[in-house]
Amino acid sequence: MDQAGRLRRVAGPAAPGAGRLLGSAARDGAVGRRPAGAAVRRRARRGAAAEHSRLSALLPLGGRALHADAHPGNVLATPSGLVWNDFEDTWRGPLEWDLAILARTKLLDGEAALAAYPDPYDADLVELCREIRWLQVQIWLQASAVRNPARRAEAASEMARWSETR
């Protein structure tokens, strides 16, 4: 089976890797680690897990093969043209997931890129996917802070910002 065929068969979780990372972060105590106390970490873990479940239930079933981290930083210019790289996040889901990632990028005007997308899409689903991605980023930051203590302040600040919106 070719690579595209393999990608079409991928049936990842609603927020790619989020369930695995939530479990890992909870096990390692990464969510909200220092300077937050144990009670704050427990609340953050419970809140992130509940939010993951709530948002995942809203995603439609099925979908198509996605890059799942579709932004300009994952495009290579080759003599044969532009090609995608960095396929570690690929999964099966709605097109709107890739559009949400594109819209969130800071590598270009993501909103303008989304507005220029030529085919129809569900704007409400893009917003839902953006919310899920924000949660996924929070989980990634918490796990990253465990490995790289220099990121702890950024991770704590982002978790606080995310928590304030809930």
Provide the domain limits for residue 76. 3-164
What pTM was computed for the model? 0.65
- Torsion angle in degrees (nearest 10) through CA of 12, 15, 21, 26: -130
Instruction: Tell me the CATH number at 120.
Output: 3.90.1200.10
pLDDT digits (tens, 9 = 90+) for 79-101: 999 999 999 888 888 999 999 99
State how far the Cα of 156 lies from the Cα of 141, in Å rounded to an integer. 9
Q: How does residue 34 score in pLDDT terms, banded at 50, 70 and 90?
A: very low
Q: How far apart are CA 49 and CA 54, in angstroms?
A: 9
Q: Largest alpha-carbon pair distance within the chain?
A: 54
Number of domains in the chain: 1
Q: Check whether 36 has a pLDDT greater than 60.
A: no
pLDDT class for 161, splitting at 50, 70, 90? confident
